[in-house]
Amino acid sequence: MTKADLVERIFEKIGLSKKEAQEIIEILFDTMKQTFIEGESVKISGFGTFNVRQKMARRGRNPKTGDDLEITPRRVITFRASNQLKSVMEK
């Protein structure tokens, strides 16, 4: 599913114009991005939680050449589904 698909669904279900639906989606994603930049979690009841996690530097290996290298520290986003979402997915 793409952003355009989300806009289309909002247009069909709520009746907002496609431009208004696009603006809502953009505001939602921009707000989530800013929250992640600040290092905070985003919890959506009945759906799940997005967490920002700091990964430390570590030793790695290039699988093609076998050379050792250092993987730099970085922040990643993880998702944990809510129990409600898990139960819907099981059906």
Tens of pLDDT, residues 6-32: 999 999 999 889 999 999 999 999 999
| pTM beyond 0.85, yes or no | no
* In contact, 22 and 10? CB cutoff 8 Å: no
Residue type, 44: I
Q: Which CATH number fits domain 1-38: 4.10.520.10, 3.30.750.210, 3.30.420.40, 3.90.180.10?
A: 4.10.520.10
Q: What is the pLDDT of the chain when averaged over all its residues?
A: 94
Q: Extract the tokens encoding 63.
A: 């699988």
Q: Which fold has domain 40-91?
A: HU Protein; Chain A (4.10.520)
> What mean pLDDT is predicted for residues 30-55?
96
Residue type, 69: L
Name residue 68's beta-bridge partners.
Answer: 61
CA distance 88 to 91: 6
Statement: residue 91 has pLDDT above 90: no
**C-beta atoms surrounding 10 within 10 Å:** 18
Residue type, 59: R
pLDDT at 57: 94
> What mean pLDDT is predicted for residues 53-75?
93
Q: Extract the tokens encoding 23.
A: 């603006």
* In contact, 27 and 3? CB cutoff 8 Å: no
Q: What percent of the chain has pLDDT over 70?
A: 100
Q: What percent of the chain has pLDDT over 90?
A: 91
